[in-house]
Structure 1
Amino acid sequence: MREVLKEILASIKVHKVRSMLTGFGVAWGMFILIVLLGAGNGFRSGMLSMFSGYASNSIWITGQWVSHAKIGGVQSGSRVHFDKSLEGKLKKRFREVQYISSEISLENANPVRFEGLSGNFDVKGIDQNYNTIKLLEIEEGRFLNDFDYQQKRRVVVIGDRIKETLFKNQNPIGKQISINGVFFQVVGIIKTGTIFSMMERNSIYIPIVTLQNTFNLNNDFYTFGALLHHKTKVETFENELRNFIAQEIGFDKNDRGALYVNNVQLQVSAFNSLFKGIDIFLWVLGICFLLTGMISITNIMLVVVKERTTEIGIRKALGATPESIKFLIIYEALIITMLFGLIGIFLGYIGIGIYNWIVSALQTGQQEIFASASLGWHIVFPAFILLILSGVFAGLFPAQKAAEIMPVETLNKAV
């Protein structure tokens, strides 16, 4: 085997230009495959990260206006609202529901002031399970805790846009802000979110019991979220939930406009299915580039066999078997394929590095759709195995041609 390798490497060395041009197709195909798969992973990560503000297995329901009245139920034109009793019924009816959290908002404009600076922002009262369903990341300070709810503390968590507007270069933590004339202490600042969670930047979060007590709000609310078990059948759950709420509230279940449903789990599932299709497409595209390289390997090996016809005939005359001739040609095709394939992988990772540098340079501070590209060896290894198999197949036809060479004919031509 060592002698065979020496002979193959010597042949490649003698025909450097030809070998390099032949191997370029293989290296280019592997380079394209690595960069495509890496960029595809980056795109997937960037898109799915937009849902990072929500638990991937969550669903959000917002009451809208009834357009189809039901006898004895909500009148047409009325807005659908919920209460705490509905939450209990939902938990009892649907085993898929792990947690439920309601959200109450102060209606109309809410002037918020601090030391002469002011602005109008969304003020929301939230339950204790809220941050389990909508994942609000804290940049400074802390989030609302159990003691805040138990003692009905006048504390708030604010979005980073509010910090920029009211506090400029000051640290808001511990400061008192005025909401409709009532003072609240800032205990935390929400980190800048994704494109899908821009509203959090302009929102103020207060314990729901504090908001109700302070501004004399009733227990009704228009929005709630639920955290579902991961094994929930998202395709059917939403429809069952809609029908149940319609029955409990009293409106026509076919009135699709009465409820706005943000089914995060279904959206994430749809994106995952989409990216599986994209992955398949990228693999097919990359394999097509590899096949182009394999065709060039086959062509050059046919040239090699033709050039070495006399040599092969002499080998067979001296006792070389057709199988040994086949293996010699296949090994040479395989060595060229593996050598330039490894070069292609190396260049592919350099390409991913350049891609990441460009993406990083184009970042604007807000989370982008295209995240940094990455590609693990659990993907590269199968690609390399595919490359090896391609090298073997590329050498099969020329090897068969070489094995069919008759010693007598080649020796007669040599004489």
Structure 2
Amino acid sequence: MKIFDLDRLQEIWITITHNKSRSVLTAFGVFWGMFMLVLMVGAGSALESGISSQVEGFATNSAFFASSPTSLPYKGFQKGRNWNMTNSDIPIIKQRVDELEYLSPVLFAGGSDENVVRGEKKGSYLVKGCYPEYDLIEKSKLLYGRYVNDIDIAERRKVCVIGERIYEVLFQKGQDPTGQQIRVNGIYFQVIGVARSTSGVSIGGRTEETVVLPFSTMQQAFNQGNIIHFLAATADRGVPVKIVQDKILEILKQQHQISPDDKEAVFTMNIEEQFKMFNYLGIGISALIWIVGLGTLFAGAIGVSNIMLVTVRERTKEIGIRRALGATPRNIIGQILSESVVLTVIAGVTGIIVGVGLLRVTGIVLSQGDQFFKDPQISFSMAVISLIILIVIGTFAGYIPAQRAMMIKPVEAISEE
């Protein structure tokens, strides 16, 4: 027996449209549940895409270190002692930490009033000195020229990479700035590149508003001695950042006479752990979305089930006649389940179409600017899963009414007025 032959579908449609207002109100619960589920899943997808775009180009397997006053006395030193990381720490860390991938010291110089000048044009920007490896940790996109290289470090060249915003202020649009001289904190440097950030995450300031110098040049030009303000490190692929973090902490404490139990002397930030928190948050949001969405759908299914019970009651005589004419329990159950599934699927698919349409319009609006939410949508697999859920819910909604219909006795049903 075909469940959805032409005659059966026509009969189902006549039954559903017999009381249009009741069918519409019944279907609205399923429509609204699926509509909200699509919107919430799309919003979750947009949030995930937004977070991914913000961290794209930034090494998530990284950790950062900075000095901080000690909190414990050690080897004759009082607590509260200030100390600094130095150049001598770099080769020791590279030698002892086998799991290390990249390592770069960083120096910072604050953006005093109009500290970056070219002719009559000037502005206040951050100045940062680092190794070439730093661009592999906080990746930037070069609009002109190149980044700092090993030769710049070795020869202490007076060169710099400027941010896109600095370029816009100091140079005319479309002008190639490479080879041009600018004055940074009173000292002239040659521009070798223009950089733009590839992520929304930055350390010490936005790439677009930062002047990057070779680390060695900055130490010498600004009389920084051998001090390191900040240390950036990444772990090899497959190695937990915590291993590299702990080893570097141990080395720094040994090198600078700091108690092994001092938890405050070295400021450290494990980016991998931060992103794990974001991932867990995303999983939690997704789970909440599905719980709320499925809960709303099942509430709609209960409404469909209640209405189907009423329909069965109203059609008691009809069902009795069908039974008297030879309809089997399977025929009766199939009829009721078919009506429930068709009503549920029509309402649910309408909710999917309207929800996807609204997500599409929202995505077009959001694409006009640099928004945190990006490209809200649902995947094809999500649409297939939703359709399967609708069929399951429709079957669930029609099961109890179908059982009720099957229990109707033909003689009693025919004689009922």
Q: Tell whether the structures are fold-level matches, with TM greater than 0.5.
A: yes
* Counterpart Cα distance in 2 of 1:411 and 1:36: 49
Aligned counterpart, 1:269: 276
Aligned counterpart, 1:118: 122
Q: Choose the corresponding residue for 2:194, options 172, 182, 189.
A: 189
1:245/1:285 CA distance change after superposition, 3 Å = same
* Structure 2 residue 24 is matched with structure 1 residue 20: yes
Aligned counterpart, 2:395: 392
RMSD of aligned residue pairs (Cα, Å):
2.8
* Counterpart Cα distance in 2 of 1:74 and 1:94: 29
1:185/1:344 CA distance change after superposition, 3 Å = same
- Percent identical pairs in the alignment equals 33
**Cα offset for 1:327?**
1.5
**Cα offset for 1:309?**
1.4
Aligned length: 409
Q: Please list the CA deviations of residues 145-202 of structure 1 after superposition, one character each: whole Å capped at 9, or x if unmatched.
A: 4564566543321123323443365736222112244432223222256654343233
**Cα offset for 1:395?**
0.6
Aligned counterpart, 2:300: 293
Aligned counterpart, 1:352: 359
Choose between structure 1 and 2: higher helix proportion: 1
Aligned counterpart, 2:290: 283
Does the 8 A contact of 1:54 with 1:264 survive in 2?
Answer: no
TM-score (norm 1): 0.88
Q: Choose the corresponding residue for 1:251, options 245, 258, 262.
A: 258
- SS of equivalent residue, structure 1 residue 256: coil
Does the 8 A contact of 1:25 with 1:292 survive in 2?
Answer: yes
Aligned counterpart, 2:414: 411
Superposition pairs of residues 83-162 of structure 1, within 5 angstroms: 83-84=87-88, 86-106=89-109, 109=112, 111-145=115-149, 148-149=152-153, 153-162=157-166
1:316/1:170 CA distance change after superposition, 3 Å = closer
1:60/1:153 CA distance change after superposition, 3 Å = same
Does the 8 A contact of 1:26 with 1:290 survive in 2?
Answer: yes
Does the 8 A contact of 1:125 with 1:206 survive in 2?
Answer: yes
- SS of equivalent residue, structure 1 residue 59: strand
- SS of equivalent residue, structure 2 residue 162: strand
Query: What amino acid does structure 2 have at the position aligned with 1:294?
Result: A
Superposition pairs of residues 290-329 of structure 1, within 5 angstroms: 290-329=297-336
Does the 8 A contact of 2:30 with 2:301 survive in 1?
Answer: yes
Where does the alignment leave 5 or more consecutive residues of structure 2 unmatched?
A: none
1:108/1:139 CA distance change after superposition, 3 Å = closer
Q: Which moved more, 1:309-318 or 1:186-195?
A: 186-195
* Structure 2 residue 347 is matched with structure 1 residue 340: yes
Q: Which moved more, 1:338-347 or 1:213-222?
A: 213-222
* Structure 2 residue 384 is matched with structure 1 residue 381: yes
Q: Please list the CA deviations of residues 215-239 of structure 1 after superposition, one character each: whole Å capped at 9, or x if unmatched.
A: 5654441211111235344567645
**Cα offset for 1:325?**
1.0
**Cα offset for 1:348?**
0.8
Q: Choose the corresponding residue for 1:242, options 233, 242, 249.
A: 249
1:130/1:192 CA distance change after superposition, 3 Å = closer
Does the 8 A contact of 1:190 with 1:201 survive in 2?
Answer: yes
Q: Please list the CA deviations of residues 280-331 of structure 1 after superposition, one character each: whole Å capped at 9, or x if unmatched.
A: 1111111121112101210121122112212211221222211221111111
* Counterpart Cα distance in 2 of 1:112 and 1:314: 93
Query: What amino acid does structure 2 have at the position aligned with 1:115?
Result: G
Query: What amino acid does structure 1 have at the position aligned with 2:49?
Result: S
* Counterpart Cα distance in 2 of 1:19 and 1:375: 28
Q: Choose the corresponding residue for 1:206, options 200, 207, 213.
A: 213
* Counterpart Cα distance in 2 of 1:327 and 1:241: 69
Where does the alignment leave 5 or more consecutive residues of structure 1 unmatched?
A: none
* Counterpart Cα distance in 2 of 1:139 and 1:298: 62
* Structure 2 residue 67 is matched with structure 1 residue 63: yes
- SS of equivalent residue, structure 1 residue 29: helix
**Cα offset for 1:271?**
0.7
* Counterpart Cα distance in 2 of 1:131 and 1:190: 10
- SS of equivalent residue, structure 2 residue 268: strand
**Cα offset for 1:121?**
3.0
Query: What amino acid does structure 2 have at the position aligned with 1:190?
Result: A
**Cα offset for 1:334?**
0.7
**Cα offset for 1:87?**
3.1
**Cα offset for 1:268?**
0.5
Q: Choose the corresponding residue for 1:178, options 174, 183, 194.
A: 183
Query: What amino acid does structure 1 have at the position aligned with 2:26?
Result: T
* Counterpart Cα distance in 2 of 1:44 and 1:352: 15
Does the 8 A contact of 1:163 with 1:172 survive in 2?
Answer: no
Does the 8 A contact of 2:163 with 2:207 survive in 1?
Answer: yes
Q: Which moved more, 1:277-286 or 1:315-324?
A: 315-324
Does the 8 A contact of 2:363 with 2:376 survive in 1?
Answer: yes
Does the 8 A contact of 1:359 with 1:371 survive in 2?
Answer: yes
